[in-house]
Structure 1
Amino acid sequence: MPSPQQARAQASAITSRGAVSRDDASPTSRLRALFDGPRLSPGQRRIAQYLIEHLTEAAFLSITELADRAGVSQPSVTRFAAAVGFSGYPALRERLQSIALSTLPGPHEADRANELQAAVDAEIQNLENLRRDLADPGRVVQVGRALSRSTPLTVLGLRISASLAEYFGYAARRIHPDVRLVTRGGSVAYDALLQAREAGGSWVLAFGMPRHARETLTALRVAREAGLKVALVTDLALGPLPDEADVTFTTGTGSRLVFDSYAAPGVMAAALLQAMTDADPERTQARLEKYERGAEERQFFLPD
């Protein structure tokens, strides 16, 4: 069973989400109060999502049955129970059974829709926080100018962060003459970083989203040792990754669903691109016009 401290924390979490009381809250709200506090791995989120969507059935499953239904291993279920504040799966199951038996029979389609809406609400809050951070755009403008002057410019994003790096790199190539994208770790990343420095590059723009890859940290250290400066977009304000960066832009990630979503980091990337375009407007205009001519000649895109 949860300790008295864990029970109080869980009750406080429910109150902070606006529930009148634990017994009056819907089953979905009560489960969210259990699962929203800790940062869960993607596998653990699968378990949480399965429990939310199948509470009346899942609350009475054995650990083997739950692992099979959720598509994870039995140790994963045990670790999940510990992550959300219980001594083991039996204690978690007892809590699930009390919720299932004392309230509504289980989540309906509307509950699942609300779960998705809650994910959107969380991302809206991340964007609101970013909006406040950009009230003074000075740092973004300054870093955008530095990235624009770095030739070559290296963009680093490993594992889950590769998608953000690819977006930034694709757009940056339209306005910058030499953008080098690094989405593979290990010696491949090290070679690319060292070669960029030897070619005259001065900055790396790195993306570090959860779960934070150890190889990202190593790559940032290699970049610093080589003499490159690092601008980092991450969800962390403190920790090993920001410690290795010259400038850190902290943006929240959406963690309500099985896999994170990146509304705020995407906007942050677009803001840095905007700052790069403003840093050298003549070069930007010339390159964009040249690209558009080539795209039209080769019919890259469908007609409007």
Structure 2
Amino acid sequence: MASDQQARAQASAITPGRLSPGAEPAPTDRVLALFGGHRLSPGQRRIAQYITDHLTEAAFLSITDLAERVGVSQPSVTRFAASVGFSGYPALREALQPIALSSVAGPPETGGESRRNELQAAVDAEIENLEHLRRALADPDQVLTIGRELARSVPLTVLGLRISVSLAEYFAYAARRIHPDVRTVTRGGSVAYDTLLQSRAAGGSWVLAFAMPRHAHETLAAMRTARGSGLKVALITDLPLGPLVDEADVTLTAPTGSRLVFDSYAAHGVLSAALLQAMADADPQRTQARLEDYEQAAEQHNFFLDD
């Protein structure tokens, strides 16, 4: 954990690209920089957002009053302070107070400007995440290779638990248009084990696993079960290191957007679409035949409003 002095120093930092050269960071930016770089739970992000939106008031509140305003417990505020690098709430408040006083002394930020900072900063962060992914895909060999392997695995199993369910279901829905047998695992425990073992017994060779923060123990257990049964695991996640990566045969990473209460996954969505493209290109004849069959079925059964 960073010391209180180190954490206070972070308040003078600012995300690159947010300021013109020589410009003084706005108080809101200084607070956002103070909280940045830390993995916060949704509840902790509520505290961070309240402090950012009500800085001149929040910086002088007692822990009891702040907890009551946000609607959390006092221990939650204490854990939040520790999560952003302080020894406790008093040290965090000490770091916030000069920032709050500078906002009173300087030109006031309008409510609209504060809201613009909050929401547009989240979009800006996702744009940076996509730029990071763009640079990573400058060499597409790994994605193309994984796409070929997943295309050859019949059945192909897609694993995503808790917050990762939406990404797994998106990938599986699209993959079924171009792959003959796609199975999903969106529940942990014995249900996951049963599906994984059946997939291996049916001839499958690969599992594609999604693991977004907060990373679940159930995901790690399912990946271990998959590998123990003889399946290989391709992992899409946000971190290049850790126990999940250790259990994967190959890993593709992209950063999450973490500026709002809940994470956003723009880069992971694009990465998933790129992997689907690689699967489609791995067997173009099968892809074309399956897409044509699907379009005929969609037209025959009137699946879509715009047909």
Q: TM-score normalised to the size of structure 1?
A: 0.93
Unaligned regions of 5+ residues in structure 2, if any? none
Pairing 1:45-56 to 2, within 5 Å after superposition? 45-56=45-56
Distance 1:71 1:170 in 2: 39
Which residue of structure 2 aligns with residue 153 of structure 1? 156
Asked if the contact 2:160–2:211 (Cα under 8 Å) also holds between the matched residues in 1, the reply is yes
CA–CA distance in 1 between the matches of 2:69 and 2:297?
A: 52
Q: What TM-score results when the alignment is normalised by the length of structure 2?
A: 0.92
Q: Which amino acid aligns with 1:79?
A: R
Give the secondary-structure state (helix, strand or coil) at the position aligned to 1:201.
coil
Q: 3-state DSSP class of the match of 1:155? A: strand
Aligned mates of 1:81, 1:166 — CA distance in 2: 36
**Structure 1 pair 27–8 and aligned structure 2 pair: CA distance change class (3 A):** closer
Aligned equivalents of 1:14 and 1:277: distance in 2? Answer: 42
Which position in structure 2 is the counterpart of 1:59? 59
Aligned residues: 302
Equivalent in the alignment of 1:176: 179
Query: RMSD of the alignment, in Å?
Result: 2.1
Conserved? CA contact 2:143–2:274, under 8 Å? yes
Given that residues 54 and 106 in structure 1 are in contact (C-alpha distance below 8 angstroms), is that contact kept between their aligned partners in structure 2? no
Structure 1 residues 169 and 246, CA gap change in structure 2 (3 angstroms): same
Distance in 1 separating the partners of 2:143 and 2:224: 23
1:174 is paired with a residue whose SS is: coil
Deviation of 1:254 after TM superposition, in Å, equals 0.6
Q: Which whole-Å CA distance do the structure 1 matches of 2:180 and 2:30 have between them?
A: 53
Residue number in structure 2 paired with 1:92: 92
Letter in 2 for 1:120: V
Distance across 1 between alignment mates of 2:218 and 2:169: 18
Give the distance between the partners of 1:40 and 1:213, measured in 2 at CA.
Answer: 15
Q: Which residue of 2 aligns with 1:4?
A: 5
Distance 1:268 1:16, change over 3 A: closer
1:43-192 correspondence runs (5 A): 43-104=43-104, 108-192=111-195
What are the ranges of 5 or more consecutive residues in structure 1 without an aligned counterpart?
none
Task: Please say if residues 190 and 222 of structure 1, whose CA atoms lie closer than 8 Å, have aligned partners that are also in contact.
Answer: yes
Cα distance between partner residues in 2 of 1:15 and 1:134 = 24
Contact 1:55 1:107 in 2 (8 A): no
TM alignment of 1:268-279, pairs within 5 A? 268-279=271-282
- Residue 216 of structure 2 aligns with an amino acid whose one-letter code is A
Q: Percent identity?
A: 72
Q: Does 1:232 align with 2:232?
A: no
Q: Could you say what secondary structure the match of 2:236 adopts?
A: strand
Give the direction of change, closer, same or farther, for the CA distance of 1:240–1:145 in structure 2 (3 Å limit).
Answer: same
